[in-house]
Structure 1
């Protein structure tokens, strides 16, 4: 593999990373959070899922 000096992720790597972040938030939410935190987590998850699906 030729080294170009560029560092970054492919689109698929980024999507996989976002899926991991979604899983982390879902696991945290399942531990039990306040109603306010639940709402904030859901807003974040909606945004992440929209990015994954686009």
Structure 2
């Protein structure tokens, strides 16, 4: 499991709990991964991270 896997689920699933359930991991793990994604992309929130990732061709 990686931050990329978790962030790839972000556009289609809204909350950490939903992402955790979909991937079969703990909600706290999702929170940690999302924190890493936000920091790496220098994004202010989840929506901003998705916009940045789309612009960079990181998501379909």
Structure-2-length-normalised TM-score: 0.37
* Greater percentage in helix: 1
> Highest CA radius of gyration, 1 or 2?
1
Higher relative contact order, chain-length normalized (CA < 8 Å, sep 6+): 1
